[in-house]
Amino acid sequence: MNTLANVRAELDAIDDALHDLLMRRADVVAGLAASRVKASGPTLRPGREARILRRLIGRHSGPLPAAALVRLWREMFATSIRQQNNFSLAYHGVGDAVPKLVAEHFGMGMPSRAFTTPSQALAAVGNGDAAIAVLPFPNEADPTELEWWPALDAPRLAVVARLPFFSEGNPGPEALIVAHGMPDASDDDRSLLLVEADPELSRGAVLQGLAEAGITARLLIARRLPHVSRFLFEADGLIEPGDGRLAALNFINTRPLGAYATPIRGISA
Ligand SMILES: C=C(O[C@@H]1C=C(C(=O)O)C=C[C@H]1O)C(=O)O
């Protein structure tokens, strides 16, 4: 009979099974941490996390909202990252959008420190005080003194993830994670490209130059400086510093700033 006691007994059995699996997952991560197989690379691997979430969302069905599935896995990722080393993060943001994204992405327990400028947060990563910096997604309306991407020391420090990775519909304010080294591919990625070009060159001509080199890109920000036009593009795919397509470009300066797994924006039923 479907009494409350019966339903609760079934939930208790499911909780035990889930608990066993969570403990088993943590054991596997502990083995990974002890084995040093990741010793040469960063702890946080947003590309791998994106592959896991895409795979699970792809097989998902039933009444559990996909957003809840992602939240549960985010908490597990954050826990397993902290299991692997003393992970901590630096962030900068005006208002509460960035701290909110940090809490949603890394759970409530992740050690994090706020900085009043993006360059201070990046310096904390540069000198090893923090593993990553979370910074606001570049915006055309940003004041120059908060514009962090033109001075990003890529590929030493590079963009490796975009937050939120999952949202149903409009994501609201977004952020980027900057870490040491270029990110792993996730099979569906986008790259940030800084281009400095002769101010005589229109943005259409710059886009055409990129297209002729085989790079499909969208303009995010254009800045007219005294002797140069500076552009930030989001390009399809993973573009790393040695990419052959960059050699074909003859702008004043073209620099990949990193990449991120293409975020999921709503899922079709
Ligand atoms: C376990 C790993 O480290 C981190 C934690 C992950 C996980 O818990 O599945 C996945 C990617 C990394 O951010 C890994 O690199 O596989």
- Looking at residue 108, its pLDDT comes to 86
- Looking at residue 269, its pLDDT comes to 44
Between β-strands 132-136 and 89-91, what pairing exists: parallel, antiparallel or unpaired?
parallel
Residue 124 to residue 118: CA distance in whole angstroms:
10
| Ligand 1 atom nearest 79 alpha carbon | 8
Q: Exposed, middle or buried, 181 (CB in 10 Å: 0-12/13-18/19+)?
A: middle
Q: How many domains does the chain have?
A: 1
How many angstroms does the Cα of residue 171 sit away from the middle of ligand 1? 24
CB atoms within 10 A of CB 31: 10
Q: What is the arrangement of strands in the sheet containing 175-180, beginning at the earlier edge strand?
A: 112-114, 89-91, 132-136, 175-180, 157-163, 253-261, 189-197, 229-236, 217-224
Is 243 inside any structural domain? Answer: yes
Residue 32 CB less than 6 A away from ligand 1: yes
- Looking at residue 41, its pLDDT comes to 86
CA distances from 80 to 30, 38, 73, 76, 123 (A): 8, 13, 10, 6, 25
How many angstroms does the Cα of residue 124 sit away from the middle of ligand 1? 23
String of b and e for 47-57 (b: at least 16 CB within 10 Å)? bebbbebbeee
How many angstroms does the Cα of residue 78 sit away from the middle of ligand 1? 9
Per-residue pLDDT of the chain (269 residues; tens, 9 = 90+): 789 999 999 999 999 999 999 999 999 999 999 998 887 789 999 999 999 999 999 999 999 999 999 999 999 999 999 999 899 999 999 999 999 999 999 998 899 999 999 999 999 999 999 999 999 999 999 998 889 999 999 999 999 999 999 999 899 999 999 999 999 999 999 999 999 999 999 999 999 999 999 999 999 999 999 999 999 999 999 999 999 999 999 999 999 999 999 999 976 54
| Ligand 1 atom nearest 38 alpha carbon | 15
Is 241 inside any structural domain? Answer: yes
Residue 33 CB less than 6 A away from ligand 1: no
- Looking at residue 268, its pLDDT comes to 52
Is 254 inside any structural domain? Answer: yes
Is 80 inside any structural domain? Answer: no
Q: What is the DSSP letter of 8?
A: H
Is 59 inside any structural domain? Answer: no
Residue 175, SS3 per DSSP = strand
Domain holding 215: CATH number?
3.30.70
Is 10 inside any structural domain? Answer: no
Is 240 inside any structural domain? Answer: yes
Range of the domain at 240: 190-260
Residue 56 CB less than 6 A away from ligand 1: no
- Looking at residue 267, its pLDDT comes to 64
How many angstroms does the Cα of residue 48 sit away from the middle of ligand 1? 7
Is 212 inside any structural domain? Answer: yes
Residue 45 CB less than 6 A away from ligand 1: yes
CA 111 to chain CA centroid, nearest Å: 18
